[in-house]
Amino acid sequence: DSGVTQTPKHLITATGQRVTLRCSPRSGDLSVYWYQQSLDQGLQFLIQYYNGEERAKGNILERFSAQQFPDLHSELNLSSLELGDSALYFCASSARDRGPYEQYFGPGTRLTVT
């Protein structure tokens, strides 16, 4: 158990819909990361937040957005869903935003868009 929690574990929704994925980082970790893992793209970094502020952006679509709240939990919002958005979405946390700190990953949310 990494200490990172993600909800829900599974999500099935239709194209065009909007969903919200939730992540709670390990106790004391200020940095949260979101990654997407699909069959054809592998594990890809989406976005990072540190103590409520956006720190880095990766291959995140404009239809996707995220935020980190004062209690440090984070939400990833996916809108106008397409079939290709079906993937595993992982959240990770680390102690700081820079430096050689390992990232701890949650169990993921499996999103299926039908």
Partner 1 sequence: DAKTTQPPSMDCAEGRAANLPCNHSTISGNEYVYWYRQIHSQGPQYIIHGLKNNETNEMASLIITEDRKSSTLILPHATLRDTAVYYCIVNFDSGSRLTFGEGTQLTVNP
Residues that bind partner 1 (CB under 8 A): 2, 4, 31, 33, 35, 42-45, 48, 50, 55-56, 58, 88, 90, 92, 94, 96-108, 110
Nearer to partner 1, 3 or 16 (CB): 3
Q: How far is the CB of 16 from partner 1 (least distance, A)?
A: 26
Which residue carries 């990770």 as its tokens? 92
- Specify the 3-state DSSP secondary structure of 19: strand
Nearer to partner 1, 19 or 33 (CB): 33
Nearer to partner 1, 51 or 80 (CB): 51
Exposed e or buried b per residue across 35-73, where buried means at least 16 C-beta atoms within 10 angstroms of its C-beta: bbeeeeeeeeebbbbbeeeeeeeeebeeebebebeeebe
Q: How far is the CB of 97 from partner 1 (least distance, A)?
A: 5
CB 29 within 8 A of CB 95: yes
Q: How far is the CB of 20 from partner 1 (least distance, A)?
A: 19
User: In which element (H, E) is residue 68 found?
Assistant: strand 64-68
Q: How far is the CB of 72 from partner 1 (least distance, A)?
A: 16
Distance CA 112, CA 17 (A): 12
Nearer to partner 1, 78 or 106 (CB): 106
